[in-house]
Amino acid sequence: MMIHTQIRIKGKVQGVYFRVSAQSQALKLGLNGMVRNDFNGDVYIEAEGSEDAIQKLIDWCIIGPAKAEVTEVISETGMLKNYAGFAILR
């Protein structure tokens, strides 16, 4: 079953290749969606795919790429948007 999840990552998560790394992880997991930097310093992800793959992405977000310092990860499910691919938004 496909689910849609919104993930907000807080901490030192901009300027550390979080978006590129998240996109790579999502594609490895077969997820569709998008990732962007928010003006408040967070990284925001919308991902769609299997519940197992989404959980693996959330688990990865807790650690993030090598230079990230993640302090909090907040996720919630939402309505499917039927993304095609996984985009980095600027």
What positions carry a catalytic annotation?
19, 37
E strand or H helix at 24: helix 18-28
Smallest Cα–Cα separation from 33: which of 10, 9, 57?
57
Tokens in use for 46? 């919308």
